[in-house]
Structure 1
Amino acid sequence: MKSTIGVSALALLFLGGLWLVAAPFVVGYQPRGDEWSDATVNDVWVGGLLTAGAFAALVAYAADALRELTRRD
């Protein structure tokens, strides 16, 4: 079976990306109703890209693991 270290790293990247997207609103440095600051825009874009990349890698890993399981007889 493949290493779980890679899956753990991808899961942490995914969670880190989610945190970057949510942080401006959870921590409160983006006031409600105001125009988004440059820091908020940056956090949302970087977090979204990080989350999407980690999710795509996790899906590819899962597909590869399923493919490997179906080849075993």
Structure 2
Amino acid sequence: MKAKLGVSALVLLFLGGLWLVAAPFAVGYQPRGGAYVDATINDLWIGGGLAGLSFVALVVYAADALRDLARRGKHADV
């Protein structure tokens, strides 16, 4: 149960980070063709960092889960 809650939280953080990266352009507070406003720069850095960290955490979790499955399979054959 805790693992599902943790993975769900990481997925939501990842999607939130992606939204922060896309928001200036989707919502329209970044002028088209203009220099990036401070809010856009902030959204890109915070959103990119949040999405990146949560993605790395998801990859680490998946690798650990696969390692655990491989370990269980190895002991089942013996």
TM-score by length of 2: 0.90
Alignment partner of 1:3: what SS? helix
User: 1:36 and 2:8 equivalent?
Assistant: no
CA distance in 1, matches of 2:43, 2:66: 34
What one-letter code is carried by the residue in structure 2 that aligns with 1:66? L
Partner of 1:70: 70
CA RMSD, aligned part only?
1.2
Figure out how many residues of one structure are paired with residues of the other and give that number: 73
Q: Structure 1: which 4+ aligned runs deviate by more than 6 Å? A: none
Q: Quote the Cα distance in structure 2 between the aligned partners of 1:22 and 1:34.
A: 16
Q: Which residue of 2 aligns with 1:26?
A: 26
Task: Say which one has the larger Rg.
Answer: 2
1:19-42, Cα deviation, whole Å (9 max, x unpaired): 000000000000110000011000
Three-state SS of the structure 2 residue aligned to 1:31 is coil
Structure 1 residues not aligned, in runs of 5+: none
Report the residue type matching 2:41 in the other structure: V
Q: For residue 24 of structure 2, give the secondary structure of its aligned residue in structure 1.
A: helix
| Greater helix content | 2
Tell me how far 1:61 sits from its aligned partner: 0.2
